[in-house]
Structure 1
Amino acid sequence: MKWLKPILSLFFLVFVMSVMIGFKHVEFLSAQEKSIIEYYKEEWERREERKAESSYIMSHTKVNTVGTWSASTNAFGYSGANYQPNAKGTGEDTFTWAFKVKRSDQYQVFVHQVPAFDRASNAPFTVTHAQGEDTITVDQRSGNEWFELGTYSFDKDKEWKITLSDAGDGYVIADALKLVSVSDPDWDVVLENDR
Structure 2
Amino acid sequence: MGRVHFYLRERIEDVKRRVLYESYEARKLPPWERVVITWIVLFTFWVLVAGWGRVAHLLIAAVVTLLIAVIMRDMLTEDIRRRGHLLTKSLYIFLFVVPQYLFIMVFRLIESNLRVVRNVILLDITPGIVKIEADLYSDTGLTILANSITLTPGTLTLDVEKKLGKAHLYVHWINVETLDGERAGRIIKGDLEEWLKKIFW
Q: Could you say whether these structures have the same fold, taking a TM-score greater than 0.5 normalized by the shorter chain as the test? A: no
The TM-score by the shorter chain falls in which range? Answer: under 0.3
Greater share of residues in helix: 2
Q: Which of these two proteins has the greater Rg computed from alpha carbons?
A: 1
Q: TM-score by structure 1 length?
A: 0.26
